[in-house]
Structure 1
Amino acid sequence: MRIALLKQIDKLIGGVAAAMLPAPRAAETVTPKRLLVIRPGGIGDAVLLIPALAALKERYPHAELVVLAEGRNGATFALCPQVDRLMLYDRPGDLLEVLRGGFDLVIDTEQWHRLSAVVARLARAPLSIGYATNNRKRLFSNGVPYSHDDYELFSFFKLLAPLGITAPESFTVPFLTVPNEAAVRAEALLRGDEGRLVTIFPGASIPERRWGAARFAELAQRLTLAGFRIAVVGGPGDREEGELIVSGCGGLNLAGRTSLVESAAVLARTRLLISGDSGVLHIAVGLGVPAVSLFGPGMEAKWGPRGDQHRIVNRHLACSPCTRFGTTPRCPEGARCLSEIAVHEVLAAAQELLSVRF
Structure 2
Amino acid sequence: MPWRQNLASLGNRCMNSVRQPFRLLDASASSAQPKIAVFRAMHLGELLCTVPTLRALRAAMPNAHVTLIGLPWAASFARRFSGYIDAHVDFPGFPGLPGQSVDLPRIPSFIAAMQEQRFDCVLQIHGSGGLSNPLVRTFGAVRNAGFYRQGEYCPDPLHFMPWDENCHDILRLAQLMTFLGVPPASHELEFPVTEADRQALLASLPKPPAAGSYVCIHPGARLPAQRWPAADFARVADRLHAAGLQVLLVGSAQEATLAATVQRDMRMPALNLAGKLGVGAFAALLEQARLVVCNDTGIAHIAAALGIPSVALCYGSGLRRWAPLDRRRHRSVHVVTEDAAGQPGLVRERVLATVRALLEDTGMPLA
TM-score exceeds 0.5: yes
SS in 2 for 1:241: helix
Q: Distance in 2 between matches of 1:122 and 1:337?
A: 50
Q: Does the 8 Å CA contact 1:75/1:260 hold for their aligned counterparts?
A: no
Q: How many residues align?
A: 316
**1:309 — aligned with what?**
329
Question: 1:124 deviation in Å?
Answer: 1.6
Q: Does the 8 Å CA contact 1:112/1:131 hold for their aligned counterparts?
A: yes
Question: 1:128 deviation in Å?
Answer: 1.2
**What are the equivalent positions in structure 2 for 1:316-335 lying under 5 Å apart?**
none
Give the one of 234, 243, 248 matched to 1:231: 248
Q: Which moved more, 1:280-289 or 1:85-94?
A: 85-94
Distance verdict in 2 for CA 1:136–1:130, change over 3 Å: farther
**What are the equivalent positions in structure 2 for 1:172-183 lying under 5 Å apart?**
172=188, 175-183=190-198
SS in 1 for 2:117: coil
Matched, 1:272 2:291: yes
**1:103 — aligned with what?**
119
Q: Distance in 1 between matches of 2:344 and 2:115?
A: 45
**What are the equivalent positions in structure 2 for 1:280-299 lying under 5 Å apart?**
280-299=299-318
**2:66 — aligned with what?**
65
Give the one of 28, 34, 38 matched to 2:26: 28
**2:38 — aligned with what?**
37
**What are the equivalent positions in structure 2 for 1:67-86 lying under 5 Å apart?**
67-71=68-72, 73-81=74-82, 82-86=84-88
**1:118 — aligned with what?**
134
Letter in 1 for 2:355: A
Q: Distance in 2 between matches of 1:337 and 1:261?
A: 38
For 1:144-201, what per-residue CA distance to the aligned partner results, in whole angstroms no more than 9, with x for missing partners? 1222332211211233235422435x5345x221233122212444524132121111
Question: 1:114 deviation in Å?
Answer: 3.8
Give ranges in structure 2 of 5+ residues lacking alignment.
1-23, 93-102
Question: 1:334 deviation in Å?
Answer: 9.1
Distance verdict in 2 for CA 1:187–1:271, change over 3 Å: farther
Question: 1:72 deviation in Å?
Answer: 5.2
Distance verdict in 2 for CA 1:336–1:243, change over 3 Å: closer
Give the one of 259, 266, 273 matched to 1:242: 259
Distance verdict in 2 for CA 1:340–1:251, change over 3 Å: closer
Give the one of 87, 90, 94 matched to 2:89: 87
Question: 1:293 deviation in Å?
Answer: 1.0
**What are the equivalent positions in structure 2 for 1:125-144 lying under 5 Å apart?**
125-133=141-149, 135-138=152-155, 142-144=159-161
For 1:230-258, what per-residue CA distance to the aligned partner results, in whole angstroms no more than 9, with x for missing partners? 22222222101212323443322222222
Q: Distance in 2 between matches of 1:221 and 1:187?
A: 26
CA RMSD of aligned residues (A): 2.8
Q: Does the 8 Å CA contact 2:201/2:284 hold for their aligned counterparts?
A: yes
Letter in 2 for 1:59: A
Q: Distance in 2 between matches of 1:128 and 1:42?
A: 23
Q: Distance in 2 between matches of 1:211 and 1:68?
A: 32
**2:225 — aligned with what?**
208
Q: Does the 8 Å CA contact 1:89/1:95 hold for their aligned counterparts?
A: no
Distance verdict in 2 for CA 1:152–1:284, change over 3 Å: same
Question: 1:53 deviation in Å?
Answer: 0.4
Question: 1:205 deviation in Å?
Answer: 1.9
SS in 2 for 1:237: helix
Q: Distance in 2 between matches of 1:341 and 1:207?
A: 21
SS in 2 for 1:137: coil
Question: 1:44 deviation in Å?
Answer: 1.8
SS in 1 for 2:274: coil
Q: Distance in 1 between matches of 2:36 and 2:343?
A: 41
Q: Distance in 2 between matches of 1:122 and 1:352?
A: 51
